[in-house]
Amino acid sequence: MEKRVVFHIDFDYFFAQCEELRNPDLKTKPVAVCVFSDRGGDSGAIATANYIARNYGVKSGMPIKFAKKKLEKVNNAVFLPTDFEYYSEISQKAMDAIKEFADIFEYVGRDEAYLDVSMRTEGSFDKASHLAQQLKNVVRKSSKLSCTVGVSSNKLVAKIASSFKKPDGLTIVSPEKIESFLDPLPIRAIPGIGKKTEEVFSEMSLETILQLKTLDVFSLNSKFGRKIAAYIYNAARGIDNEPVSPRQEATQYSRIVTLKEDSKEYGFLAKNLENLCDEIHSTIIADSIIFKSVGIQFVQSDLSNKTKSRTLKNPTSSLDELKKTVMHLLSEALEDQQLLVRRIGVRVSDLSKISGQDNITRYF
C-alpha cells in the first residue's frame, strides 16, 4: 500500500488578494477588507488584511475602529466592504484548476482545500513536491492567485505546514521529518488551539510543541476533558487518521457579473441576466441538477445588496423556466429601484440530483 500524501492548499490573504486583482493599484497600499455590521459607521470587524496592513498590526477579527487607529498615520490605507459573490467567482476558478491534481478533493472554504494525491504520487514525497509546484503554477495562471501549500502524510500536519511559509510558500514534511518539524513550533500552531488554551499551557510554562509532549494524556484529560485531550495529545505527535473526503453537495449555484456601466435600465440588465442564466444552466446540466428556487441579486452603486427570489411549483432544469422566472423577478425589483445597479447576479437553489430518468426529467 502506498504511503499517504496529503496537500493542504491555502490562498494567501484571500479577500484582500481578490481586491488587488480587481484593482492592481491596491498592491502597494495597506488594504483591509471589512465586515461592516448593521449599526453603521465603523462598527464591524476585519475579515482579511493584506501583508502591508499586517505589518502595521492589522489582523483578521480586529474591530474596524482599532484597525483604523493603527493605520491613521498612513495616507493611502484602504478599507473595503466584503464582496462574497466576487470572491466565490475567483475561488471557483482556482478550485476547478486544483481539482485536476487530486485523487480525492475536499473543499473546506473559498480559500482552503485538501487533496489526497497518494495514488498519483505513488507515495513519493519527491513526486509530491513537483506536483505541488505545478499546482501553484496552474492556480496562478488560471486565477492569478498566489497560494501556499503544505504537504505531509496527513491533514493535520499538511495544514500546519501550509501556515509555515506564507505567502506563496511550499513546505514538504515527509513522515520521518514530522517530529523535527513540529517540536520547535509554538503550541498555537496546532489547529484549534486558540488564545485561551494557549494561556492554560503558558501558565504551566509550556510554550512549544516539544514541551507540550511532556504532558501525559491523563494530565490533559483533567484540564480539557477526554475528547479534546486526545486530540491535543495526538496532534503534538503529528498523528491524524482523518481521511480526505469529497466535499458536500452544493446548496446553490450562482453567477454574478460586474456591469460595463452602472444602470437600472430593464433591457440592459435583462441581457446580462440572460447570459448568466445560460452559464448556470450549462453547469447544472453538466452536474445533472434540478432546482426549485430562483433568485436575483443587485449590488447597487452604494455597494448595498438587493435580492428577490421565488420558489417554483415543481423542480426543473428548464432554461426557459429559469429565464422566465428571472425576468419576472427583474421587473419586480425595478418597480421601486432608486439606485443604479453595479453588479448583477442569478442564483438557483433548493437543488436535487437527477438520478435514473435523467432525460425525461429534463424534458418535463
Asked if 112 is an active-site residue, the reply is yes
**Total Cβ atoms within 10 A of residue 87:** 21
**Which residues make Cβ contacts (< 8 Å) with residue 13, sequence separation at least 6?**
48, 49, 50, 51, 54, 167
Report which DSSP code applies to 188. Answer: G
Instruction: Please report which helix (H) or strand (E) contains residue 313, including its range.
Output: strand 305-316
* Residue among 2, 89, 112, 199 flagged as catalytic: 112
Q: Which residues, including other chains, have CB under 8 Å from residue 211's CB and lie 6 or more apart? A: 187, 205
- Dihedral angle at the C-alpha atoms of 221, 224, 227, 230, nearest 10 degrees? -60
Residue 89: half-sphere exposure toward Cβ, Cα within 13 Å: 20
- CA angle, corner 23, sides to 256 and 342, nearest 5? 35
Contact, 229 vs 315, CB < 8 A? no
Task: Give the orientation angle of helix 319-334 with respect to helix 266-286, to 10 degrees.
Answer: 150
Cell numbers representing residue 25 in the block: 493599484
H or E element in which residue 239 lies = none
- CA distances, 293 to each of 167, 310, 347 (Å): 40, 6, 8
Nearby residues of 329 by Cβ (< 8 Å), 6 or more positions away: 294, 295, 296, 308, 309, 310
Judge whether 54 and 31 are in contact, CB under 8 Å. no
CA distance 157 to 182: 8
Q: Which residues are catalytic?
A: 112
